[in-house]
Structure 1
């Protein structure tokens, strides 16, 4: 399997090269150059398969460098937790993706990447410097996924004052080979500086850099796994409508990739907060990235979603084709709070703000766009729940009037002292810091 750049000006590369580089030399994002089609018999039999079995089957065609045994070991070690599908009512389900070590869906990608990188690094015998931007959960998942991995240094950029307290504690208290850089700016600023680092030839001559953001294809491959597992847990045989709360759009892109493999899906709903760049594109055909707005669903506070470039590529730049597959909408903080309260009062189910946005999107679709995807009466809606509600207790508790229980593995980080490095919103400052601290990492 070869991976190509979305910009089309770089040579095709292997999975290992794409993963370890992160960004293509022409500034594009790597995407599979071909799409193996899984037979209908695979999807028909998926209900008999475990999450790990589904994960291996979906990963195998994309990764040539690892033996069957090595890939099995990576998956079994990385994805050693469940992703249960919880039924809310006759047609609505919540796919809980927050049962990993850091209680966020990013654990799937980060843990898989860490183990894959360690295996690939053994072959190259070169150390890596991982740099990643985070709007919340990516940082903690990457920190824990790569914590203590020999020969790998991790540098996390996050926007000061724009992540929840628990998220900040998670990503700033890891220690060991993980450093948190607290940037005076937004997530988009952090992401811009990370991309500048990969495009800086002089820096790359001195450091071996890779990324753990969803710009890295190694993050998206494992995010396909739970889409298949959702199908395995669904009752009936109708292809679902999948609703994805979205910021940088890596999660939704992974779903589109799974669909390219033949995964049955009636359609996708792109649910966003006030940062509605992609829903706006779906409606108008005009892509207008802009400065992000701060909201209570902070992981979606992205004004320049990187993975739109992959989405655009997958649909050959055809707006009409994309809008036939993806329906988008956005909601305010007040609407999100109201949804949190309504769902809790009606079902006793506690959602985090991102899942509440997905719930609102499903409600709006059913009220205003029912039949858009040509679905049947029994078509189920699956909402992806990306983070444990305990991470957003300061938002949720005043709304539902109840205390959100904090799992022990999350409570532990609250007792630790925050350690971060304050950084100006300036790439030259980041470059100097990287060279001062990591130049000897090769």
Structure 2
């Protein structure tokens, strides 16, 4: 299996090099040259496999340059850190299925990918005799999951940018209370988009990237998207009947729902992917009317979705544009110049054939947490509530609707308390954070300041 860039200006590379490259050197995102097709009989055989075995079967199709025994050991070690024996269990509540993706070390869906990516990095750096400085941006959960994936690991430093005072207090503590020598937190006085723009700019500084061996943990890294493909297959296999399914995905950066799109392209019988957003609804507007125009970021109770620039949309647009790297390049040049991308009527129609979408505002989110808890006793975090509300409004009555539960509700205790009157009980690993010593550098949203900090600490 070889990999290419959405912008068409790199020679095909192997999986190991794709993981280490992160952002393609031409500024694009990495994708496989072709998408493996899973035959119906293979799907049927996979339906009831344990999570780790299913993960090996799927990931090995894409990671063909890693020996099978090594890959299996990496997968087993990565998911051995999860507290639930099923890794990502599926539960049924109030006419929908909820795929619980929050049983990893930091209680967020990002653990599914970042536990694997951390182990992959350590494996590949040891093989190459190299060191790496990971640089990433987070709107809340990616940072803590990435830090948990690499803290204390050999040959790796990690620098995580988060928007100062714009994550939940628990999310901030999960990052800043990690005092390992190889962990560096930067609180940027700005938005997540500011953080992400700084990271992408520094990755596009090829001389700096090479000199300081920058590695990517954001969902620009192909391995993260690949790891997330697995749980779509796993959820489908745990349904009472393996027919067509609708997945409702709370969406900010388009990485999680793009993994679902890939699963569908591979042959998983997905009827629709429901893209649910909060007030930062650039992606809903894109699906509903082809309007992809940048607005101002609004701060909400679902902060991991407080995003305008959805970096993973580029991967989907590559397929929407019939794999034309030239069209991708022109679209993103247009976005940089005008703040928007214009789509043809035919392209909008194609998007709508694959996705549904809805916007769920803050009042609706809190009301959904309250009503769902009253009816089922189940507590949703605010991001998952966006997806559940979308499912109940857009596809109510469908026999197989799976809502992705992206975080444990205790990570957003203030929002939950506003909705139901009491905060979600703190699991032991979150309760232990209270009063811990923290370490964090606060700085302006200036790429040169971040660059200087990395140079000083790398």
1:310 to 307, 311, 315: 315
Counterpart of 1:100? 104
1:110-132 Cα offsets, whole Å, 9 max, x none, are 10001111111122111000011
Structure 2 length-normalised TM: 0.91
Asked if residue 275 in structure 1 is aligned to residue 280 in structure 2, the reply is yes
- What's the offset of the Cα at 1:174? 1.2
2:198 to 193, 205, 214: 193
1:204-252 Cα offsets, whole Å, 9 max, x none, are 2421001100011011111111111101211112221000000001100
Structure 1 residue ranges without an equivalent (≥5): 368-376
Query: For 1:235 and 1:394, how far apart are their aligned partners in 2?
Result: 36
Counterpart of 1:125? 129
Counterpart of 1:141? 145
Query: For 1:435 and 1:399, how far apart are their aligned partners in 2?
Result: 44
- What's the offset of the Cα at 1:164? 0.3
Query: For 1:209 and 1:294, how far apart are their aligned partners in 2?
Result: 30
Contact map agreement 1:188 1:291 (CA 8 A) in 2: no
Structure 2 residue ranges without an equivalent (≥5): 323-346
Asked if residue 240 in structure 1 is aligned to residue 245 in structure 2, the reply is yes
Counterpart of 1:170? 174
Counterpart of 1:357? 386
RMSD: 1.3
Counterpart of 2:355? 326
2:162 to 138, 149, 158: 158
1:60-100 Cα offsets, whole Å, 9 max, x none, are 011122111111011111012321111013x4100000011
Number of corresponding residues: 428
- What's the offset of the Cα at 1:378? 5.6
2:217 to 212, 225, 232: 212
Contact map agreement 2:282 2:291 (CA 8 A) in 1: no
Contact map agreement 2:179 2:438 (CA 8 A) in 1: no
Asked if residue 419 in structure 1 is aligned to residue 439 in structure 2, the reply is yes
Structure 1 length-normalised TM: 0.94
- What's the offset of the Cα at 1:48? 2.5
Q: How does 1:51-130 map to 2 (within 5 A)?
A: 51-80=51-80, 81=82, 82-89=87-94, 91-130=95-134
Counterpart of 2:422? 402
- The SS at the match of 1:244 is strand
Counterpart of 1:49? 49
Q: How does 1:10-29 map to 2 (within 5 A)?
A: 10-29=10-29
Contact map agreement 1:131 1:156 (CA 8 A) in 2: yes
- What's the offset of the Cα at 1:186? 0.3
Query: For 1:291 and 1:428, how far apart are their aligned partners in 2?
Result: 24
Query: For 2:154 and 2:205, how far apart are their aligned partners in 1?
Result: 26
1:232-279 Cα offsets, whole Å, 9 max, x none, are 211112221000000001100111111121111111000000111111
Contact map agreement 1:131 1:212 (CA 8 A) in 2: yes
- What's the offset of the Cα at 1:325? 0.6
Distance 1:291 1:403, change over 3 A: closer
Query: For 2:285 and 2:243, how far apart are their aligned partners in 1?
Result: 29
- The SS at the match of 1:235 is coil
- The SS at the match of 1:45 is helix
- The SS at the match of 2:235 is helix
Asked if residue 264 in structure 1 is aligned to residue 269 in structure 2, the reply is yes
Contact map agreement 1:46 1:231 (CA 8 A) in 2: no
- What's the offset of the Cα at 1:315? 2.4
- The SS at the match of 1:175 is coil
1:163-222 Cα offsets, whole Å, 9 max, x none, are 000000001111211110000000000000000111012312421001100011011111
